[in-house]
Each structure stands twice: as C-alpha cells, then as structure tokens.
C-alpha cells in the first residue's frame, strides 16, 4: 500500500499521459471537467482504456472498452499484473529499488492467469492481455483514474490495492503523467480528511496510534487527548441502535438519504437521545434532529477547500449569511465559548495557520501565499516549497519501500439469486448532485432530469416486457421503490442503475445493502441484489 485517498498526480498532467486507464469512474457525468482533460489526452495521442460494467459515455473516446462483470476488479487486475510479471514487462529496476514483497506477489498471482480471470470477469483473454501489454508499454506515463466504482464494494480497499500493485510494478508512482488517481466526489471531502475529522487520525493524517503523535498534539492544544480510536460513521450507527450513543452532532450531511439501507440509518438516528444538525436546509436528516443550527453555504464561507489533486484553494464570501444564520466557523467558535473554552484563533486565516503548523503536509501553505499564488498542492512543508504536483517523487511519501499487497477475489456481499436476479448499482448523473439539496433548487434543472429513473438493458426490458417510462417496482431485501424505467444499453444485461438525487419521491437507499468494505467501512453501493416488476 502507498499513500492516502488523494490523486498521486495532478489533473492537468493527464493531458500528457501516454495511456489512461479509467475504471469505475463515469467521469463525463461525475467529474465532467476532468473528463475534458482525458479527452484532450486522447487528442494528444494517448490510449484510453475504459474498464467498467456500464457502457458509459467516455467509452466513445476509448481505444479499448472492457465490459467487466460487477465486482470482479481484483481478478482482472491480478491477471493483468500476472501477465506483466510472467512476460517480464515490469520495471525491474523500479521494483528492486522502490518496492517490497515482489516475490510474494508473484507467487500469489500465479493462479490468476488471463484464462482463469477472464471467466470470472466475463471478459475475453485478449482483453486482459492487451490491457497488460498496453499499460506496460505506456509506463511510466500510464495513469489510472478511478472513482467510487472501485471503492464502493465490500472489497473496495483490496480493489485499490490491486491497482496500486499494477502501478508499482510498472513504475508509475513518483513519475509525472502517471500514478493511481482517485477522483473524489465532494468539493471538500479531501480537506475534511486533511483536517483530522477521522476517528483514527489527527490533522494531516497523523495516526493516533503512532508513537508520540497524541503527545505532540496535547502540547500544541494544551489539553489531554483521548487515546482510544473513535467510531466510524457506520459503526457509530450500529452503536446508536444499541443505545450506546446519547448525543449526536451532524454538520451539513443528509445521512438518512445518502447512507445505505436508509431505513436502518433513520432508525439509528432516531435512537439517539439528543441530535443536533448544523445545515443550510431542513434536510430529511435535519427533520430528525432535536436542535437545528442555521449555517452558511459556500457563498458565505471564508476558508479553504482541498480538491482531489490535493490543492488547497481559497473560498471567499460573496454575501453574508441569511437572517440569523452564522458561518460554520462562527458556530464552532461559539461552541468553544459556551463550554468556557474560548478558541484563541478566530479568523479563518489564523485557524488555518494553527492547523497547518501541526503537520508537515501543509505547514508551508498560508493564506498570504494562496492569495498571491493561487491554489497550492500538499505536501508543502516550507514557505519556500512550491507544492507537490505528483507524490512519491524520489521515494514513497511514507519514507519506506512501497509494499505489494497480494489480494484475492471476493464476490459482492449480496450476490444475485433466483428471487433477486438483478444487481443494482447506484451513482450520480451529471445534472443532479448527490441528494439533490442543491441541484434540486436550481431553476431549469428539472428540464434536464426531473425524477429518478432506473436504467435497464434493452434485453432485460424485453424479457420483462418493460417499455420506456413504464413504472417499475424495484425491490431488495430491505425495501422497495417505484420508479420509471429508462431502457439503455449503458446498463449491462442483469444490472440496473439508479441515482439518489430525488429523495422526496424515490428513496434509492431504501434498497442498498448494509455491506461495507471490511477495512474502510465504505458501503457497497455498487452491488446489491434486486428484483424488478412492472407496475404499469
């Protein structure tokens, strides 16, 4: 494993790659501006390999499209790695000098021959062989881009490890126009993790369990700190149902709509004695709260966002908060104050200065620099440091060799069967965003998409006698929704797709399963078993 959940390289670097391998990312819909750089790369002569169960729009630009069966990423990439090793297409010097565990990996991959994996993945042997040949030939200028199609599986972390193995084999870490690049989904998901809002990490990904870290922060913050790792969101919800959580504070999240198995999530939140929601709208989640605090939208906020390429950018207020609403920073400061612990730094610039000084990742970034130079990419340890367009340049950021992680194929937690014969994947569409609290209010957007649809392959539609726009009941073991059908060969046979942007009419997450990645606890949104029946 190497690194953290951020792009190893930069968005703009994609235009200079020799090969882009895009997998589990419907980039033209979910990250449209990154898809432009991909299209530019193709125009500049790059090969584009798209590996995705859904025949997404980006396949139009692809030199190779491989329609992989849902949830079979590991056998595919293991076989690609196996072919690369067997045919000595890997970067031997890089493997010798920058990595560890090659022999173990080699041995582990022996059974993942292209023939063996092709059967599991529902692809041809050539698909695997040519992906291997082309990826190796383009290295070290081959970039992998992935999104939640890779991570939202119960084996999500292992999926990423399989990709990272491939990247290390061919020397694509620490080189420009290369890398393994997760494209992240929300404007400041990166900054939120950077800030230490994680149960295991203090700011700058400094692990609570690493020696000396808690002590270091106790000095900086002049307070005694808890040693025990905290509850992840998913385990916290289990604890809520068990009655162990008495008090819950939620900032700007529509949990009961966005979380899997929504009935379960709602039940969990209702089990808490006192719940506070800090948000800009009365969301489905806020309705469950006992106390609601009116906060700021991005247009009123003063601070920073960090994007998927680790770039810290300034967010500046255009107007002030409506009525008696306060900015999120003001609200947090007042929480400190009411507890008799007035926070010293009050201006966003000073809060940033305090946070950045705690971690070498961003200690070289100040508001003054952001003002003068624009966004800066971490790591940036010194004020004289220009920021880091790509990670792992001369050595892995960990300071140690990159470790190959042998991983095995795991089927989705809820396979299809006779009763529930279809696999449902959920995701976003371009003109609707997440739970729809923002795009749902934008004038004109209802002309683009005005309601939820279930996308179904023409063959399946024919078999079930479903016509375009027929109302369908989609049912899983946890719940059901009624929704109109869109017949589209984007969906592979046996699989259907829905977004979750219209919670008022269609609660897609009533269907999704509780299964989570056994390491990061990311929900398996990309695979749960459903059945379809025609209503009218």
Partner 1 sequence: MLKTDLIKIQVNGTPISIPQDKRVLDAINLSEQKVPTLCFDERIGPQGTCRMCLVEVKLKQQVSYVASCTAMVEENMEVFTHSDSLIEYRKTLLELTLSEIKWDQKSMDNTTLTNNEFKMAVEEYKPTNFFPKLQPREKVKDENPFISRDYDKCIACYRCTNICNDWEQASAITIDGRGQDSKIFSFFDNKLMNSNCTFCGQCINTCPTGALSNKKLELDKPVEKTKTKTVCPYCGVGCGIELISDGKKVLGATPDFSAPSKGSLCVKGQFASWDFVNSKERLTDPLLKNKHGEFEKISWEKALDTFREKLKGSIDNYGPDSTVWWASARVVTESNYLLQKFARTVVGTNNIDNCSRT
- Under rule CB under 8 A, residue 401 binds partner 1: no
Q: Which is nearer to partner 1, 58 or 461 (CB)?
A: 58
Q: Which is nearer to partner 1, 131 or 188 (CB)?
A: 188
Q: Which is nearer to partner 1, 137 or 282 (CB)?
A: 282
What phi and psi, each to the nearest 5 degrees, are found at residue 48? -125, 115
Sequential DSSP letters for 243-300: T---EEEEES--HHHHSSSHHHHHHHHHTSSEEEEEESS--TTGGG-SEEEE---GGG
Select from 124, 186, 398, 451 the one that contacts partner 1 (CB under 8 A). Answer: 186
Instruction: Round to whole Å and give the CA distance between 505 and 196.
Output: 36
Half-sphere exposure of 99 (CA within 13 A, CB side): 28
SS3 at position 146: strand
Burial level of 335, CB count in 10 A (0-12/13-18/19+)?
middle
CA-based max dimension of the chain: 68
Instruction: Round to whole Å and give the CA distance between 319 and 296.
Output: 10
- Under rule CB under 8 A, residue 519 binds partner 1: no
Sheet containing 47-51: which strands, arranged edge to edge? 64-66, 47-51, 19-23, 142-146, 180-182
Q: Which is nearer to partner 1, 200 or 451 (CB)?
A: 200
Residues 140-169 that bind partner 1 (CB under 8 A): none
- Under rule CB under 8 A, residue 233 binds partner 1: yes
Q: Which is nearer to partner 1, 127 or 514 (CB)?
A: 514
Residue 17 in tokens: 């790659």
* Beta bridge partner(s), residue 532: 474
From 66-74, 93-101, 177-185, 399-407, give the range in contact with partner 1 by CB under 8 A. Answer: 177-185
Instruction: Round to whole Å and give the CA distance between 35 and 45.
Output: 15
- Under rule CB under 8 A, residue 391 binds partner 1: no
Least distance (Å) between residue 359 CB and partner 1: 11
- Under rule CB under 8 A, residue 386 binds partner 1: no
Q: Which is nearer to partner 1, 85 or 237 (CB)?
A: 237
Instruction: Round to whole Å and give the CA distance between 194 and 55.
Output: 34
Least distance (Å) between residue 257 CB and partner 1: 10
Select from 136, 289, 454, 527 the one that contacts partner 1 (CB under 8 A). Answer: 289
In 3D, which of 301, 261, 265, 295 has the Cα closest to residue 277? 295
Least distance (Å) between residue 319 CB and partner 1: 5
Q: Chain centroid to CA 434: how far?
A: 13
- Under rule CB under 8 A, residue 311 binds partner 1: yes
- Under rule CB under 8 A, residue 234 binds partner 1: yes
- Under rule CB under 8 A, residue 12 binds partner 1: yes
Select from 188, 363, 476, 491 the one that contacts partner 1 (CB under 8 A). Answer: 188
Q: Which is nearer to partner 1, 186 or 505 (CB)?
A: 186
From 35-43, 44-52, 67-75, 471-479, give the range in contact with partner 1 by CB under 8 A. Answer: 35-43
DSSP helix, strand, coil percent of the chain (3-state; round to 5): 35, 15, 50
Using alpha carbons only, how large is the chain's radius of gyration in Å?
24
Least distance (Å) between residue 476 CB and partner 1: 18
In contact, 310 and 388? CB cutoff 8 Å: yes
The residue assigned the tokens 């199609």 is 149
- Under rule CB under 8 A, residue 315 binds partner 1: yes
Instruction: Round to whole Å and give the CA distance between 502 and 453.
Output: 10
- With CB under 8 A as the rule, give the number of residues binding partner 1: 149
- Under rule CB under 8 A, residue 335 binds partner 1: yes
Instruction: Round to whole Å and give the CA distance between 490 and 71.
Output: 17
Least distance (Å) between residue 273 CB and partner 1: 7
- Under rule CB under 8 A, residue 137 binds partner 1: no
Residue 477 in tokens: 């073991």
- Under rule CB under 8 A, residue 185 binds partner 1: yes
Select from 343, 385, 477, 484 the one that contacts partner 1 (CB under 8 A). Answer: 343
Select from 292, 361, 472, 528 the one that contacts partner 1 (CB under 8 A). Answer: 292
Least distance (Å) between residue 262 CB and partner 1: 11
From 112-120, 131-139, 434-442, 491-499, give the range in contact with partner 1 by CB under 8 A. Answer: 434-442
The 60-79 contact track toward partner 1, x by CB under 8 A, reads -x------------------
Q: Which is nearer to partner 1, 17 or 165 (CB)?
A: 17
């Amino acid at each position: 494993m190497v690194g953290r959940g951020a792009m190893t390289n930069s968005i703009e670097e994609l235009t200079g790659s020799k090969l882009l391998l895009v997998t589990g990312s419907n980039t033209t819909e979910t990250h449209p501006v990154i898809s432009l750089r991909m299209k530019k790369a193709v125009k500049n002569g790059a090969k584009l390999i798209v590996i995705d169960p859904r025949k997404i729009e980006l396949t139009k630009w692809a030199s190779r499209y491989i329609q992989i069966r849902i949830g079979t990423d590991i056998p595919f990439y293991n076989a690609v790695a196996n072919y690369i090793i067997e045919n000595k297409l890997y970067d031997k010097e890089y493997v010798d000098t920058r990595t560890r565990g090659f022999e173990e990996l080699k041995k582990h991959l022996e059974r993942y021959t292209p023939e063996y994996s092709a059967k599991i993945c529902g692809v041809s042997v050539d698909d695997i062989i040519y992906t291997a040949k082309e990826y190796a030939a383009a290295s070290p200028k081959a970039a992998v881009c992935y999104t939640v199609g890779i991570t939202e599986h119960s084996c999500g972390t292992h999926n990423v490890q399989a990709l990272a193995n491939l990247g290390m084999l061919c020397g694509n870490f620490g080189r420009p126009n290369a890398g393994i690049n997760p494209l992240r989904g929300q404007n400041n998901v990166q900054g939120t993790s950077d800030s230490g809002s994680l149960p295991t990490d203090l700011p700058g990904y400094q692990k609570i369990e690493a020696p000396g870290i808690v002590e270091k922060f106790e000095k900086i913050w002049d307070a005694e700190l808890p040693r025990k790792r905290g509850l992840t969101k998913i385990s916290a919800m289990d604890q809520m149902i068990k009655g162990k959580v008495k008090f819950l504070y939620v900032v700007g999240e529509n949990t009961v709509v966005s979380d899997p198995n929504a009935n379960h999530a709602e039940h969990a939140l209702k089990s808490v004695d006192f719940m506070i929601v800090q948000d800009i709208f009365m969301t489905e989640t806020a309705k469950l709260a006992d106390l609601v605090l009116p906060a700021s939208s991005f247009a009123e906020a003063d601070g920073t966002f960090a994007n998927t390429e680790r770039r810290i950018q300034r967010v500046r207020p255009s107007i002030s908060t409506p009525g008696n609403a306060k900015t999120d920073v003001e609200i947090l400061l007042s929480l400190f104050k009411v507890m008799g612990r007035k926070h010293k730094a009050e201006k966003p610039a000073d809060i940033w200065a305090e946070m950045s000084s705690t971690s070498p990742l961003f200690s070289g970034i100040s508001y003054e620099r952001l003002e003068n130079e624009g966004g800066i990419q971490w790591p940036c340890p010194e004020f004289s440091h220009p920021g880091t367009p790509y990670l792992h340049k001369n050595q892995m950021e960990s300071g140690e060799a990159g470790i190959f992680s042998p991983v095995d194929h795991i089927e989705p937690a809820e396979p299809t069967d006779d009763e529930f014969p279809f696999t449902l994947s959920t995701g976003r569409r371009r003109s609707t965003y997440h739970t729809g609290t923002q795009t749902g209010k934008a004038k004109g957007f209802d002309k683009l998409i005005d309601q939820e649809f279930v996308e179904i392959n023409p063959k399946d539609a024919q078999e079930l006698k479903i016509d375009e726009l027929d109302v369908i009941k989609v049912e899983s073991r946890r719940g059901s929704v009624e929704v109109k059908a869109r017949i589209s060969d984007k969906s592979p046979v046996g699989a259907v797709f829905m977004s979750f942007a219209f919670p008022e009419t269609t609660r897609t997450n009533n269907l999704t399963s509780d299964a989570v990645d056994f390491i990061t606890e990311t929900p398996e949104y990309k695979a749960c078993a459903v059945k379809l029946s025609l209503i009218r």
